Amino acid sequence: MGTKRQDIVESADRLFYREGFADVGIDRLVDDADVALGTLYRHFRSRSEVVVAAMAHRHDAFLQALTGTPPAATGAAAVLHLFDALAAWSSAEGGNGCFFLRAAADYPADAGIRAAALAHKRTYLALVERLLCQGGWDRERAAGLAPRIFILLEGAVAAAFTLGDHAAVADARSIAASILAAGGPTS
Amino acid sequence: MGTKRQDIVESADRLFYREGFADVGIDRLVDDADVALGTLYRHFRSRSEVVVAAMAHRHDAFLQALTGTPPAATGAAAVLHLFDALAAWSSAEGGNGCFFLRAAADYPADAGIRAAALAHKRTYLALVERLLCQGGWDRERAAGLAPRIFILLEGAVAAAFTLGDHAAVADARSIAASILAAGGPTS
DNA sequence: ACGGTGATAGAACGATCGTTCTACACTGTC
DNA sequence: GACAGTGTAGAACGATCGTTCTATCACCGT
């Protein structure tokens, strides 16, 4: 519960996301968190555990950002709101791509990191499906539609990162709007 | 022109893509390529140059895979063929996500690597736009549509990687088909 | 006053890794 | 036959980095 551990996790989250995993070592973390080296190793057994903790921290913040201001909308608006929230989140964070994809790509041999990335994506996809159900789609239709919305969300983040495409999220949103209208809950 | 340099580049491409950048060092490369350490440093000034060469190699192979068997189709089929080619390429390569995105994420401070990733994405996007023009869309419409197709292609690769989603490319393709039909060249 | 706990600074180790260097062998060419 | 270019093997260096260890300090409950 100590605030020191929190400081480390927040520094790790920010530095890893902004500068990548390779360029941020333990020394950078303890510097940024204003924490002694021994303190870090009291709370975490290894650097890998710090990475996993940073992923968990970002997972919570990300999901909260996406579900934080739900305008209690129904229908397509409930899902399209995801894209607006994603646009706000992405511009606030700097558009450096998906943190979890980057972590999984960086440490393909680390089971803990891969598991954290997979868990994040699964709950992300489940969130989309749940919003579709809340929007009025029946469970079967929602299960078929959610992966497609997910592809659009992931593609928007990837395109924004690699191309610096500022309009990617908006483009993805409009595609989502059209496929939601085509396979709407009332049809 | 020596075949040794080619061996190094091919080994780098394969190993980097399959095992990531962090886990593959110079020693692994010279082992796999069956080349002496001095030979590598005769052809490349640094490890970073090897990475860039591997990216260039994969860029060529990827574009050739996407344009290799163009059934001289017109209309939407000319673009949708991209998804089929991507599915074949992705399953052949192991579905480890986008090589260029991973490289850019791994080395955010390396200007050469970032430039190679950006150049790849730009010609990739330009390829989509060119196919749309060949399919019958006028230049203005193609320029508006290409980024959306691009988002779908990127999203499919990302989803296939992080979720292990085997159907992602097919899903993306069907979305592309619907938006191409909605904004078709004849409409 | 006491022990226990979390924190600090800094040295130290051990391993990895990118890079350079030395010495030698093979191959063509002028 | 000298020469330049490419290749090999392996040692060596220099730096970084993750991790551990020691010694010291501050707080806190009873």
pLDDT at residue B114, rounded to an integer:
96
Residue B148 lies in a domain: yes
Residues B53, A112: Cα–Cα separation, whole Å: 31
B74: pLDDT confidence band, cut at 50, 70 and 90?
Answer: confident
Q: What is the pLDDT of residue B184?
A: 66
Is the Cβ–Cβ distance between B16 and B24 less than 8 Å? yes
Percentage above 70 pLDDT, chain B: 95
Cα B56 to chain center, whole Å?
10
Q: Angle, nearest 10°, between helix axes A139-163 and A168-182? A: 160
Distance A84 CA to D11 C1' (A): 59
Classify residue B143: in a domain, yes or no. yes
Smallest CA-to-CA distance from A153 within A100, A87, A88 is with A87
Does a structural domain hold residue A145?
Answer: yes
Question: Whole-angstrom Cα distance, residue A134 to residue A39?
Answer: 45
pLDDT, residue A57, reads 97
User: Which residue does chain B place closest to A182, by CA atoms?
Assistant: B178
Q: For residue A111, what are its two tokens?
A: 């089971």
Is B152's CB within 8 Å of A147's CB? no
CA distance A46 to B85: 42
- Rounded Cα distance between B45 and B35, Å, is 16
In a domain, B159, yes or no: yes
Among A20, A155, A167, beta carbon nearest to B155: A155
- Name the residue among A100, A147, A162 with its Cβ closest to that of B165: A147
- Decide if B109 and A20 are in contact by the 8 Å CB cutoff: yes
Q: Is A167 exposed, middle or buried (0-12, 13-18, 19+ CB in 10 A)?
A: middle
- The torsion of the CA quartet B164, B165, B169, B170, rounded to 10 degrees, works out to 150
Report helix, strand or coil for A90: helix
Domain contains B101: yes
Is B106's CB less than 7 Å from nucleic acid strand C?
A: no
Other CB atoms closer than 10 Å to residue A138's CB: what's the count?
A: 10
Range of the domain at A60: 53-182
pLDDT in tens, A24-57: 999 999 999 999 999 999 999 999 999 999 999 9
Rg (CA), chain A: 18
Question: In the predicted model, is pLDDT for residue B186 greater than 90?
Answer: no
Instruction: State how many domains chain A has.
Output: 1
How many whole angstroms separate alpha carbon A62 and alpha carbon A59?
5
Instruction: Find chain B residues with C-beta within 8 A of A118's C-beta.
Output: 162-164
What percentage of chain B has pLDDT greater than the value 90?
87
A162·B97 Cβ contact <8 A:
no
CA distance B79 to B82: 5
Position B91 in a domain: yes
- A26 falls within a domain: no
- In a domain, residue A21? The reply is no
